[in-house]
Amino acid sequence: MNTDWLRYSCQVALPGFGDVAQQRLLRAKVLIIGAGGLGCPAALYLAAAGVGTLGIADFDVVSVSNLHRQVLFNPGDVGKKKAVIICEKLQQQNPQINLITHDLQVMSDNVLELVQPYDIVVDCTDNFDARYLVNDACVIAGKPLVYGAIYQFEGHAAVWNITNTDDTKSPNYRDLFPAVDATQIPNCADGGVIPTLAGIIGCIQANEVIKYITQTGELLAGKVMIFDALAMQSRLIKISKTTNTNIQSLTQSIEIPILTIAEVKQGLADNALELVDIRTDRERDEINIGGTHFEADEVDENMDYLTGPGVKVLYCSSGKRSGEVVKYIKQKSPQAKVYSLAGGLKAWFEQVDS
């Protein structure tokens, strides 16, 4: 056995795996969208397993608050592009495979072109707009999609859009959640997450990809696995064998207007803008940087103020909730001068500390 093949000897030795399954991995093209808590372990193990072509799509940069769960990054990577760093490190981990960096924000005008060259897509995103967009694109493009999500102590995993033996398609994300009001549900940065959960669910996603490519085992298709990290229990929720949705087109992405921390500080110094804190009362009491305060679910009651004269910069813990609220306001009133604080309070205080 040559040294190139020796690294895979333990998985090749598996019953029912062998050289044939390994060759399938080496020929496979896998796209991971999202290089964060889920994307890091999923990418690490898929690269180690010998997936021949591995694409990483993400436009974000590493921040200090990422480091507790995004295990491919270290303090020296703070401020650098996630997709670039991951590809560099995984290329060192496995020089035999092809790493492709997609340093871009996944939007409705690029997602179909992005997924097209790949055999299977892994959804490691952390917001609902991206999750629905990636799901819909994979349905339209006919690509299987491995889904994962984490929040606090609970994780979900599933495989969407598999072709059944009768040529029907298995359920997709919209069969489970037709639509969600994302402004009401905080993400990991806002609501918290135990770091080990990211590793567990990310590894499950990688496992499903390997099973799909090598045609081994039973996929999480037509069902969702729910994992409780506190009780160390998991359960499977069956959905159905086939999808009940008919997705024909993509919802057009809305680019959320943001201002950087430097721009906001200059605007405050010039009295050119107002801050609006849309976090909960408890969060506001713990720490804030001033400004008007009301919670995200009180936006409609304050719409006259938000769409009135002057520039309003909304902020939350991470920039995700404020971004969703700004998008909602712009949908209601396109001329409103509202922006989201890029990175939220976490980025604000990280910059102060540095």
Catalytic residues: 188, 316
CB-CB contact of 277 with 333 (8 Å): no
Nearest-angstrom CA–CA distance, 167 and 351: 53
Please say whether the beta carbons of 64 and 76 come within 8 A: no
Give the distance from CA 114 to its chain's centroid. Answer: 15
Residues 6+ apart with CB under 8 A from 106: 33, 57, 114, 125, 130, 133, 134
- Of 62, 16, 14, which is closest to residue 36 (Cα–Cα)? 62
Residue closest to 241 by CA, chosen among 169, 142, 173: 169
Residue type, 120: I
SS3 of residue 48 by DSSP: helix
Q: How far apart are the first and last CA of the chain?
A: 51
Tokens at 326, concatenated: 């700004």
CA-CA distance, 40 to 83, in Å (whole number)?
10
Show the tokens assigned to 81. Answer: 């592009």
